[in-house]
């Protein structure tokens, strides 16, 4: 997986986020600031512009630039959290020209660690961690069982989507949604939903490469 693969992933994620912008914002309206979809769509548009204007010859450089762009262009919690995730993922990949499946798993592990450090969130607290952590675990499991990239990333995407759905029954313990207490139960976490979208985009790009 070279730099073009990672640019394709971010482009696909941006396309799907734009198509789901209103849905994500509606999810956020129920338990947050009603700006998650708007902010993320703006952020991924800014990523596209930044990648068009800069040389990013390695997977790591693609992700670091994308993360830095989100941090500088997107307000609220999503910019810093997704920005941290992408920057940490990029740093984990280093200067290598290509990333193997194990490298990708390691960079997503680094992304998860970055999000957990910045947001001080654990699984079960109704955050993006509830989608990202099971995705990382599923990816590691698939790799250990000998799955190829397409199948392993499909498993990660399925786990992320299931994790996002599981947040509906949770009470929020972090962020603005936590102010609602028990009233946050019954609503899907918007950050978990967007994480599932981004993992789904990664799987989609991997599927295209093998078909």
pLDDT average, residue stretch 112-119 = 95
The tokens describing 32, both together, are 């947050």
| Mean confidence (pLDDT) of the chain | 95
Torsion of CA 113, 165, 34, 115, to 10 degrees: 0
First to last CA, the chain: 15
Report pLDDT digits (tens) over 27-60.
999 988 899 999 999 999 999 999 999 999 999 9
- Evaluate if residue 76 carries a pLDDT over 90: no
The pLDDT of residue 210 is above 80? no
Residues 6 or more apart whose Cβ sits within 8 Å of residue 72: none
pLDDT of residue 211: 52
Each residue's pLDDT tens digit, 199-208: 999 999 999 9
Residues 98/165, Cβ–Cβ less than 8 Å: no
In this prediction, what percent of the chain has a pLDDT beyond 70? 99
Strand, coil or helix: what is 76? Answer: coil
| CATH number of the domain located at residue range(s) 3-210 in this protein | 1.25.40.340
Whole-number Å distance between alpha carbons of 168 and 78: 19
């Amino acid at each position: 997986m070279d730099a073009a693969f990672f640019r394709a992933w971010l482009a696909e994620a941006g396309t799907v986020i734009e198509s789901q912008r209103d849905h994500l914002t509606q999810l956020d309206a129920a338990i947050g600031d009603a700006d998650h979809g708007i902010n993320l769509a703006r952020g991924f548009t800014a990523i596209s512009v930044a990648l068009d204007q800069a040389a990013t010859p390695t997977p790591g450089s693609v992700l670091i630039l994308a993360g830095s762009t989100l941090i500088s262009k997107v307000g609220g919690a999503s910019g810093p959290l997704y920005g941290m995730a992408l920057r940490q993922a990029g740093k984990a990949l280093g200067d290598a020209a290509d990333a193997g499946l194990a490298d990708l798993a390691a960079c997503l592990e680094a992304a998860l660690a970055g999000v957990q450090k910045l947001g001080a969130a654990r699984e079960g607290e109704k955050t993006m961690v509830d989608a990202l952590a099971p995705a990382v675990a599923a990816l590691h499991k698939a790799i250990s069982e000998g799955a190829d990239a397409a199948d392993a990333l499909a498993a990660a995407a399925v786990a992320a989507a299931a994790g996002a759905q599981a947040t509906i029954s949770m009470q929020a313990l972090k962020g603005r949604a936590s102010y609602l207490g028990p009233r946050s139960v019954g609503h899907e976490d918007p950050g978990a939903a967007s994480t599932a979208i981004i993992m789904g985009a990664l799987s989609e790009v991997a599927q295209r490469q093998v078909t």
